[in-house]
Amino acid sequence: MNQPLLPATLWQLLNSRPQPLCNNATEYLAQHLMHKALPAKTILQKTGQVATHIYFIETGLLHATQLINGKAQTIWFMQQGQVAIAIESFFTQQPAYHTIEAIEPCELYYITHAQYEALCTASPSFCNTARKLTEAYYCLAEHRNRLMRTGTPEQRLKALEAEIDDISLRSPLKHIASYLSIAQATLSRVRGKRAAII
């Protein structure tokens, strides 16, 4: 199958599942995809607002934060080749409980909730791909939650570095420490200890 007029990273993401997208689905996306250039430190999704779009990340890095005990805590990182979405809000069309913000300048492509639903109805191949992506999203979330509960700071950092390319170079350390649920000083010690071993 020849690559259609879709962004390369999105094409790879949607066709990495066992069943490739049908021509009708790729043509629909090519016609309806919208582009957004998001500067660093720009809010994409606000807490309390309903998520009306699903974003495919072509380039860049974002993080999701949630207010915990009155303080914003990073709960998720999203990078190129992944989806940026307040998933519960998007599927239920209820207000989001977290905020999504760009850490780096980002190139995003997106469709609306209505377009997503129409495409799922019209294209079994897209519906199957969306289901597989959602399954992968929740499996990864469960793995992250388990690691945060039981892993050491060293294990948590290693897992994050394996998931997000060059995360320590791309994100402020305060966001990484927040995600790992450790103090920034602890993160610095962990990184310093590892550097000393190397």
Q: What's this model's pTM, rounded to 2 decimal places?
A: 0.88
pLDDT for 133 equals 84
User: What does the pLDDT look like over 128-156, one tens digit per residue?
Assistant: 888 888 888 888 888 888 877 788 889 98
CATH code reported for the domain at 8-150: 2.60.120.10
pLDDT for 147 equals 78
Task: Name residues whose C-beta falls within 8 Å of residue 138's C-beta, 6 or more positions apart in sequence.
Answer: none
pLDDT at 1 over 60: no
User: What does the pLDDT look like over 145-188, one tens digit per residue?
Assistant: 887 778 888 998 998 999 898 999 999 999 999 999 999 999 99
pLDDT at 75 over 70: yes
* C-alpha 179, offset from chain centre: 14
pLDDT at 4 over 60: no
Domain boundaries, the chain: 8-150, 151-198
3-state SS track over the chain: CCCCCCCHHHHHHHCCCCCCCCHHHHHHHHHHCEEEEECCCCEEECCCCECCEEEEEEECEEEEEEEECCEEEEEEEEECCCEECCHHHHHHCCECCCEEEECCCEEEEEEEHHHHHHHHHHCHHHHHHHHHHHHHHHHHHHHHHHHHHHCCHHHHHHHHHHHCCCHHHHCCHHHHHHHHCCCHHHHHHHHHHHHHHC
Q: What average pLDDT is seen over the chain?
A: 89
pLDDT for 142 equals 85
pLDDT for 7 equals 83
Distance CA 70, CA 56 (A): 30
pLDDT at 109 over 70: yes
Q: How many CB atoms lie within 10 A of CB 20?
A: 15
pLDDT at 196 over 80: no
pLDDT for 22 equals 82
pLDDT for 8 equals 82
User: pLDDT grade, residue 97 (50/70/90)?
Assistant: very high
User: pLDDT grade, residue 2 (50/70/90)?
Assistant: very low
* Tokens encoding 86: 């307040």
pLDDT for 104 equals 98
Q: Are 74 and 64 in contact (CB under 8 A)?
A: yes
59 vs 151, higher pLDDT: 59
